[in-house]
Amino acid sequence: MRLPQFFAAIGSDHHLWPAEVTAAIGPHAGFDAAWRLYQDLFGGFCGSRLDPHFARHTNPARQLGTLRVEAGTAAVVVGTGASLEPRLSTLRQLRSQLVLVTSPEGAERLAVNGLIPDLVVIDPPTVFDAHAPHVVPVSASRRSAVMRCPLVAASPRTPADLLSGLSNQKLFVPDPLPTWGLWQATAVALAMAAGAERIGLLGIDGIDHGEPSGTDRRHWPLAEVLSLLSWIGETTCVDCGPEGGRKSNWTVAPLAELASGRRAVSPIVERRPWCSQDERFDDDQMRVRNIEPVIKRARALFDLGLRGQSGARWPDGARAIEEAAVEMMSWKDDPSLRVVLQDTLGLSVLPRLWRSGVDMQRGFELWRPVVLAMHDLVHQVEKLESRLALRLCA
């Protein structure tokens, strides 16, 4: 394994404290730096597993898979940024020596230039995108480009319309899924875990120009996670877009130096069955049933918060609302409950409050975090219950 286990563990958002991670997988020299990055640039919450529209229910993948590459493999992660265009000719010349990894957008761009990648990685990159997966319709050309690729590694929360028509021989859900919600970093992490000897970057959107400290803050997390991966992985990392922003620990070199000098062997996937769509529904139904007392309390706390929102003031009201806030914050102490609320229901408000904290001295004004968090919880429960009911009627 060329990628430490803690990378995927941190990105899963399943842990609130560093001791939880080290207790599960043991210590590592790079862990403290990774945890600081997670806290400083992600606020301790990547949102990488959020699936508030329950896309996993209709994801057509039937298999989990672990990616493997031959020893000595050189892989290049290709985006659609500015550094790609001037190097397309070189990329075509060296294609046979490289394993190409990209996104659906990258596959579309490469197809126009006669290149078919070995692997397409689909990993919704932000909390917003997870909440709005259908904002941009999938174009016919993009769908065609993805269909032509031999392997597609898709997060469980990938919308089905991008995956429809893909054969079982192509499509799989990566397991483990080393994601912090940034597809470029996920692609690098997958290549590292697969055993690639050298990994290159080309056309990485958002950080293709300027130093990370001089670009939009939105792109700092990606630059820093890529730097982290190069530091903790047992892989030579090469930045093949020399005019782009520097990533620490990435050597700047042309594609020719990244190439292996011999014909690259296509990646393989060690496959095993993924639970069926019916089983995914059944699992969610069971998990919701198991937390019914919490859901019942959430509805009561929501009603209490709405009473405070209305402007009503009643004896002991401030204390009642404070106790509501304390109760919902206390749910963070149950790791299994945290995972259900985040991964099954797709909550984002309450998990963020668990990490940022709530000022308990605000009296009646505590109705605000209570209403926001409990509305999110109650709404997601109702949405999931509606889906489950429709399935039963089908």
Pair (236, 325) in one structural domain: no
Pair (260, 298) in one structural domain: no
Pair (136, 231) in one structural domain: yes
For Cα atoms 194, 188, 151, give the angle at the middle one, nearest 5 degrees: 60
Residue 40 resides in a domain: no
Residue-wise pLDDT tens digits, 242-271: 766 667 889 999 999 999 788 999 999 999
Residue 134 has pLDDT above 80, yes or no: no
Q: How far apart are CA 270 and CA 107, in angstroms?
A: 23
Q: How far apart are CA 350 and CA 338, in angstroms?
A: 10
Residue 207 resides in a domain: yes
Buried residues in 300-331 as b, exposed as e (16+ CB within 10 A): ebbebbebbeeeeeeeebbebbbebbeebbeb
Higher pLDDT: 140 or 209? It is 140
Output the domain CATH number for residue 231. Answer: 3.90.1480
Pair (372, 294) in one structural domain: yes
Pair (167, 234) in one structural domain: yes
- Looking at every residue in the chain, the average pLDDT score rounds to 91
Pair (211, 316) in one structural domain: no
Rg (CA), the chain: 23
Of 237, 258, 273, which marks where a domain is finished?
Answer: 273
pLDDT of 260: 78
Of 273, 298, 314, which marks where a domain is finished?
Answer: 273
Residue-wise pLDDT tens digits, 1-23: 589 999 999 999 999 999 999 99
Pair (137, 159) in one structural domain: yes
Pair (178, 307) in one structural domain: no
Pair (284, 140) in one structural domain: no
Could you give the number of structural domains in the chain?
Answer: 2
Is the peptide bond prior to 176 cis by the omega test (within 30 degrees of 0)?
yes
Pair (263, 324) in one structural domain: no
Pair (269, 281) in one structural domain: no
Residue 327 resides in a domain: yes
CB 11 within 8 A of CB 31: no
**Rounded mean pLDDT of 298-304?**
98
Residue 272 has pLDDT above 60, yes or no: yes
**Rounded mean pLDDT of 199-218?**
70
pLDDT of 393: 77
Q: Which residue has the tokens 């296509």?
A: 266
Sequence-separated (6 or more) residues with CB below 8 Å from residue 313: 364
Strand-strand pairing, 63-68 and 268-273: antiparallel
Residue 37 resides in a domain: no
Residue 8 resides in a domain: no
Structural domain boundaries enclosing 388: 277-393
Pair (228, 307) in one structural domain: no
Residue 44 resides in a domain: no
Residue 29 resides in a domain: no
Q: Could you tell me the pLDDT band of residue 331, with boundaries at 50, 70 and 90?
A: very high
Residue-wise pLDDT tens digits, 72-131: 999 999 999 989 999 999 999 999 999 999 999 999 999 999 999 999 999 975 544 444
Cβ-based neighbour number of residue 14 at 10 Å: 18
What stretches of 291-346 show up as alpha helix (H) in DSSP?
292-309, 317-330, 335-339
Of 240, 273, 306, which marks where a domain is finished?
Answer: 273
pLDDT of 130: 41
Residue-wise pLDDT tens digits, 349-372: 999 999 999 999 999 999 999 999
Residue 367 resides in a domain: yes
